[in-house]
Amino acid sequence: MSNPMDYNRGNRNFGGPRNFGGPREMTKTVCSDCGKECEVPFKPTEGRPVYCQDCLPKHRKPRF
């Protein structure tokens, strides 16, 4: 019997295909803080805030 952990070891494609070398697909949205229209490199989740580049640093948790 094989170890169940061995099943995922070779699978490096978690989360589906990613194209790191090509252009990112941007989504137009409105900043939850200032209301300015902006573009983000992901599809926003309903109910979660999205911030523009100017407002994001104000809401980001400090890194240690």
Segment 50-59 shows an average pLDDT of 94
By residue range, what is the domain housing residue 43? 27-59
d(CA 5, CA 57): 39
Count other Cβ atoms within 10 Å, centred on residue 25: 10
User: Comparing 19-23, 39-43, 45-49, 52-56, which segment has the lowest mean pLDDT?
Assistant: 19-23
Judge whether 37 lies within some domain.
Answer: yes
Q: What is the pTM of this model?
A: 0.60
Higher pLDDT: 1 or 21? It is: 21
Judge whether 16 lies within some domain.
Answer: no
- Per-residue pLDDT for 22 more than 60? yes
Number of separate domains in the chain: 1
Judge whether 10 lies within some domain.
Answer: no
- Per-residue pLDDT for 8 more than 90? no
